[in-house]
A and B are shown apart, each in its own frame.
Chain A
Amino acid sequence: MATAPNAPALPDGLVVVVKHDCATCRMVVPVLRQLAEPGPLTIFVQDDPAFLEGLPSRDDSDLAVSWHHGIETVPTLIRVSAGAEQDRTEGWSRSEWERVSGTAGLGPELPVMRPGCGSLSVDPDRVDALRATFSGSRLRSRRVEFAALEDEMEALFDRGWTDGLPVVPPTEERVLRMLEGTSHHPSEVVAVTPPDLIEVTVEKVAINAVMAGCKPEYLPWVLSAVEAACTDEFNIHGVLATTMPVGPVIVCNGPGTQAIGMNSGVNVLGQGNRANLTIGRALQLVIRNVGGGRPGGVDRATHGNPGKISFCFPEDEAGSPWTSLATARGIQPGTDAITIFAGEGPKIIVDQLSRTPDSLVSSLASAMRAMHHPKLVLGFDVILLISPEHARVFAEAGWSRETVLSELHARLQVPGSELVRGAAGIAEGVPAALRDRTLSKFRPDGILLVHAGGGAGLFSTMIGGWANGAMGSTPVTRAVGWR
């Protein structure tokens, strides 16, 4: 552990850190008496100092010295010269103690070596509080104090900082633990967050990630999602402000999805997995709390959808017959990545009878034709989430990702005469000038194919998009950074 810049200085000479509740520390007391004679020797004791009677001991029960000097084991012997550490050894080893102290013949009656015990400064029950005490000054956010009789959950609701569900109170201890998930400084700016165009820092993202229920290892994914959402291409401002029922949908790729325990299988879009649910939620809390985007304020959704609380899931790459979504969008295979898409709620496509790829692709296309409105084309992208059982039909016929997509597009060419305003007695539709054209339901890269879901179920799912292109939102794929 590196020495913190504001660490209390160690006195010159020999320094030993011990605790009474450690048999090795008690065992080396005769050695300490040997070293005290020539001196200078300073002993820092983490608990009861009575066993060091007559020795030059100093109290470290607040663990300030132990914390700042990275003591992980007691006893630790350190040689200090001109205020700087020269050498150290942990536990008891006669040869090591003789080397560090420069003194021969130490503890002749002791065994040659004995391991030490854990330092109280790395005790799992105390480390978060110590980190808050000794590193808290790194954090710049305003401290909000709740009265003793105030219910903190209610207080967070009252201040408008929740999405309607309870949040984890972002105490300094929890936020510092969250920040262990990244090497980036808390004050580093991640993005400029609409709608209020606020510079959001790593620290503010960490606070909201705590509230969402994230673990520290999710933080790089949340930071990457915030960064991607706040790009001009994705346009979270418009996604938030629109009357359409869309929100940010995050598709995760790469081995990291498994490392952090995401679920790409049974109930992939549903409840029950902490990583899936809290990463998406953290992004939305950042947009709400830092960006200032709230329903009824800039968020003018007519209906919204439950996915606006959180909508994040990984692709099932191991079970997929195809290259992953991220790879198809230019990310190196094996790299953690996110794709952020402005999407509405998922809609099932049922087909339990197709056993040939032609039948199945026609079936999917016929359902996708109706997305948003059967007479509206080109304006909206879609995520097509293929289940393992549907994917198998294509895989057994040797259909690649590209084949599936090209066959879908081929079946989604619609005569303008069916789409123009007034056709079929329906005013909605495309301008009359397009009557003689053949129009594609989706633009060429407007179908995002993803493989995920439980092993049983001849269903796929489509997630319809918002206005696409430069006047709306373009899906953004990024490698996960912010480690």
Chain B
Amino acid sequence: MSKTILDPSNERAVSHRILLERPQSLKGLTVGLLDIAKPRGDVFLDRIEQRLTETGARVLRFKKPTFTKPAPVDLRHEIASQCQVVIEALAD
């Protein structure tokens, strides 16, 4: 005889999400740099911004209020609506 239990999980259907195609070049694209608010993340991102700007990308900077919590939905929307590419920095 089979046994039946109730699923204890969140039952989220795993939706297959297709990644955007990687751009051949960042020239002319807007790149968002998201600082998760860990110490010295800005040092890393300052350097990345410098390098990206040299390649012709336009850079916008964003920062989470605290690294311990998920990025607020408004911030995620702001990044998605303003940028074609995003780079998130983890630093310690």
Contact = CB atoms under 8 A, between A and B. Distances in A.
A142 interface: yes
B2 A169 contact: no
B72 to A, nearest CB: 11
A144 B70 contact: no
B66 interface: yes
B10 A292 contact: yes
B4 A144 contact: yes
Interface string A218-243: 00000000000000100101100110
Contact of B9 (A148, A290, A471): A290
Which has the most chain A C-beta neighbours within 10 Å: B1, B3, B5, B11? B5
A237 B8 contact: no
Given A141-B11, A142-B11, A148-B1, A197 B70 contact: yes
A139 interface: yes
A224 B4 CA distance: 28
Interface residues of A, number: 45
B10 A139 contact: no
Given A237-B68, A237-B69, A472-B68, A291 B10 contact: yes
A143 B3 contact: no
A171 B3 contact: yes
Interface stretch (A204-212, A371-379, A436-444): A204-212
Nearest to A298: B70
A161 B8 contact: yes
A470 to B, nearest CB: 8
Given A197-B70, A238-B68, A285 B2 contact: no
Contact of B6 (A152, A172, A198, A471): A172
B69 A238 contact: yes
A196 B10 contact: yes
A194 interface: yes
Contacts of A195: 70
B31 to A, nearest CB: 26
Contact of A146 (B4, B6, B9, B12): B4
Contacts of B54: none
Contact of A290 (B1, B5, B10, B66): B10
Contacts of A285: 8
B68 A471 contact: yes
A241 B69 CA distance: 9
Given A237-B68, A242-B68, A471-B68, A198 B3 contact: no
B10 A144 contact: no
A354 to B, nearest CB: 38
A145 interface: yes
Nearest to A176: B6
Given A143-B4, A148-B1, A148-B2, A241 B9 contact: no
Given A238-B69, A471-B68, A472-B68, A161 B9 contact: yes
A147 B2 contact: yes
B68 A144 contact: no
A198 B69 contact: no
B4 A141 contact: no
Interface in B1-57: 1-12
B67 to A, nearest CB: 8
A289 interface: yes
A179 B5 CA distance: 15
B7 A142 contact: yes
13 contacts: A139-B6, A141-B7, A144-B6, A146-B2, A148-B3, A152-B3, A169-B5, A171-B3, A175-B6, A198-B12, A232-B69, A242-B68, A290-B9
Interface of A: 139, 141-148, 150, 152, 156, 161, 169-172, 175, 193-198, 200, 203-204, 207-208, 211, 232, 235, 237-238, 241-242, 285, 289-292, 467, 470-472
Query: Which A-B residue pairs are the 3 nearest by beta carbons?
Result: A238-B68, A142-B7, A141-B6
